[in-house]
Amino acid sequence: MARLSIRASKAWFGPGRVVEDAQVVTEDGAITYAGVATPIEAADREIAVDGFLMPAAADRHVHIELSDPSAVLAGGVTAVRDLAWPPDRIFPLADLSELPTFEGPLIRAAGPMLTGRDGYPTRASWAPPGTGREVDGSEDAGAIVAGLAAAGATAIKVSLNAEAGPTPSDGELAALCESAHDASLPVTVHAQGEGQVERALGAGVDELAHTPWTHRLSEDVIAMLAARMRIVSTLDILSFGRDTPAIRTALDNLRRFHDAGGTVIYGTDLGNGAVPAGIDTRELLLLREAGLSNEDVLAALIRAPLEVDAPADLIALRGDPVRDLRAFDDVRLVVRAGRVVRG
Ligand SMILES: [Zn+2]
């Protein structure tokens, strides 16, 4: 594959690594050089960026078929994780997304959301048949997880949405976690309603797919969460630019979680309401409101730092996002797997 060289007056390669007069070289979809500009062997293509170079974004909570994959990619998101869609549709699409010619981001997927009988999202209007899968006992839980692992799932998604129907029992939840961990898969939950985050903690869940927004969590729960789980942000869907009780509760929970040393990663729940395809600047500004520094926000957003052997996924912005996150409103260049898809 072609060798691509990109130079920029300024770059952020990863946490703590701001580089002036930067250069990144890619080959075969991976980075072969990232550092200060240097003479290299002839590249097949050379790009000089008038702006700021950095790693491309990953959105760890999407429903990609409810959006436009090519617009997601053009907006600077080169990798996504789909957290609930019918398996006969999402796993073939995930396979397809690995082709260099795919007009969209690399897709990883959980497959269906595992739930109780008639539980969320089996009756949700946004969810086509098969988006939710009912768990029938602990043995069934193990079989479902094994089947999803074999189908290529990269996470197990569980609904603990007690406000919209039955949820898996504590026994089923424990069995789901145990089977997932046996298959080296993380468990991510949609926790909604009083006591659901506490249930997730007790069962050994690895991640919350949303910042909890229905209740203010106790200090004890926050401390345990920060030690044991990470949180996918999805703040914008709670407000879409407005002031709402849900966003206030979520920001209060996330601020204390971050203060306690918890890990926050960027995710938007793309497909749910007016989330823009591509990097959602409102989500980033809300993360900042939750107490993350601009550099923390960048670290939560990126797929991987720019370094040798990392995926050749990068973007360029007109302005400097370490100074002002609104720079993400002006994406000038997008490269996925060494291929220029915008700019
Ligand atoms: Zn979702």
DSSP string, 295-339: HHHHHHHBSS-S-TTSB--EEEESS-TTT-GGGGG-EEEEEETTE
Cα–ligand 1 centroid distance for 108 (angstroms): 14
Residues found in the chain = 343
| Ligand 1 centroid distance, CA of 98 (Å) | 22
CA 276 to ligand 1 centroid distance, Å: 14
Q: How far is the CA of 315 from the centre of ligand 1 (A)?
A: 25
CA of residue 33 to ligand 1 center, whole Å: 36
Cα–Cα nearest to 55, from 225, 297, 248: 297
Distance 62 CA to ligand 1 centre (A): 6
Mean pLDDT by 10 residues, the chain (343 residues): 90 96 95 91 87 97 97 98 98 95 96 97 95 97 97 98 96 98 98 96 97 97 98 97 97 98 98 94 98 98 97 97 97 96 91
Distance 84 CA to ligand 1 centre (A): 7
DSSP string, 214-237: SSPPPHHHHHHHHHH-EEE---GG
| Cα angle 302, 305, 342; round to 5 | 60
Q: How much distance in Å is there from the Cα of 241 to the middle of ligand 1?
A: 19
CA distance 274 to 281: 13
Interval between CA 100 and ligand 1 midpoint (Å) = 26
Shortest CA distance to 315 belongs to which of 12, 39, 56, 48? 56
Answer yes or no: are the C-beta atoms of 95 and 152 closer than 8 Å: yes
Q: Residue holding tokens 């989500």?
A: 283
Contact by Cβ (8 Å): 82, 66: no
CB 81 within 8 A of CB 109: yes
Please choose, from the candidates 202, 174, 206, 175, the residue with its C-alpha nearest in 3D space to the C-alpha of residue 189.
Answer: 206
Cα 6 to Cα 222: distance, rounded to the nearest angstrom: 43
Q: Outline where DSSP puts E strands in the chain.
A: 4-14, 17-27, 30-36, 45-55, 57-62, 77-82, 106-109, 113-115, 132-134, 156-161, 187-192, 207-208, 230-232, 263-265, 314-317, 331-336, 339-342
CA of 8 to the centre of ligand 1 (A): 36
CA of 177 to the centre of ligand 1 (A): 19
Q: How far is the CA of 1 from the centre of ligand 1 (A)?
A: 36
| Burial class of 163 by CB neighbour count within 10 A (0 to 12, 13 to 18, 19+) | exposed
Distance 231 CA to ligand 1 centre (A): 13
Q: Which two tokens stand for residue 223?
A: 């401390």
Is the N-terminal amide bond of 121 cis, ω within 30° of 0?
Answer: yes
pLDDT at 296: 97
Ligand 1 centroid, distance to 138 Cα (angstroms): 25
Q: Is the dihedral of CA 254, 226, 305, 29 positive or negative?
A: negative
Distance CA 199, CA 169 (A): 10
- Please give the pLDDT value at position 343: 87
The pLDDT of residue 1 is 59
State the amino acid at position 336 in one-letter form. R
What's the burial of 340, exposed, middle or buried (CB within 10 Å: 0-12/13-18/19+)? middle
d(Cα 200, Cα 48) in Å, to the nearest integer?
Answer: 48
Cα 328 to ligand 1 centre (Å): 23
DSSP state of 163: T
Cα 228 from Cα 186, distance rounded (Å): 12
